[in-house]
Amino acid sequence: MAGSSPLRFADFVSPTPAAAPRGAATGGTPMHREPMSVLPETLEESTALYPLPEGELRRLDLRKWILNYVPKGGVGAEVGAFRGHFSETLLQWLEPRKAWFVDGWTRRGEFYGDDKDRLLTSDGTLPTALARQEAQWRTERFVNVERRYVEGTFPACAGKIDDPLDWLYLDLDLDLDVDAIVAALHVAEGMMTPKGILFGNGWWPNTTTAHNALFQAVTHFTRKTKYEIVAAGPYGQWAVRHRGAWRGKKQRDE
């Protein structure tokens, strides 16, 4: 990125909103959330300023098991790319030819504030534009992968992804309700290749926890469609596939 502004996002489908100058009037906003016109210039600087907690870094590693259920190559997408930590893992393990990264990023405001898990956003002080930049930094080193970035809310922005997907990783906010997730799954269903794997994060079956909606939505989705669960469980990971497309010849002949 040497010599180029960290606020340039030529690859992004959506336009980058102009950043307000540092120190502009903020109407009593705390100092640490002043508008930033100058973001860190490198991933190293950004990571040092806004570190991800150790536990979250460990969890990234522990989530990898689900990738065993996803064929390598092809075209994939990640909804909820955030800072690109898991995006890197997806590219490294799945070696797609092309990958789409989707997130609301700056549409959520200039900083994450109270809007998102404070542990992941350095107590809400992480600028949303920086999360987007980090996602780009973390993925652009995979030079053999054709990369596309979409800033928008899924499923509303689904039309911008104009490839059939061999895999789609959904990392949605955990506070969505069941109907919203079911709606997103139905849209995702229409974006997949016949043997595409739809998978993601947030599988918490324990009904006594608040974040149980994804589990309910995915199980409902598999009852209403021809999708079946391939794997689900540890560290909130889950994967489903179209059962017709994956039926063996023997089963098809029966």
Ligand X SMILES: C[S@@+](CC[C@H](N)C(=O)[O-])C[C@H]1O[C@@H](n2cnc3c(N)ncnc32)[C@H](O)[C@@H]1O
Residues that bind ligand X (CB under 6 A): 79-82, 85-86, 102-104, 108, 153-154, 171-173
Least spacing, CB of residue 108 vs ligand X, in Å: 6
Closer Cβ to ligand X, 74 or 104, answer by number? 104
Listed residue (133, 127, 105) closest to 7, CA to CA: 133
Least spacing, CB of residue 64 vs ligand X, in Å: 11
Closer Cβ to ligand X, 3 or 15, answer by number? 15
Closer Cβ to ligand X, 103 or 166, answer by number? 103
Least spacing, CB of residue 190 vs ligand X, in Å: 16
Closer Cβ to ligand X, 21 or 51, answer by number? 51
Burial of 189 (0-12, 13-18, 19+ CB in 10 A): middle
Least spacing, CB of residue 137 vs ligand X, in Å: 13
SS3 of 151-217: ECCCCCCHHHCCCCEEEEEECCCCCCCHHHHHHHHHHHHCCEEEEEEEEECCCCCCCCCCCCHHHHH
Instruction: Give the Cα separation of 136 and 44 in Å (integer).
Output: 13
Closest residue (Cβ) to ligand X?
80
Instruction: Give the Cα separation of 161 and 152 in Å (integer).
Output: 11
Cβ count near 53 (within 10 Å): 12
Least spacing, CB of residue 5 vs ligand X, in Å: 22
Closer Cβ to ligand X, 121 or 241, answer by number? 121
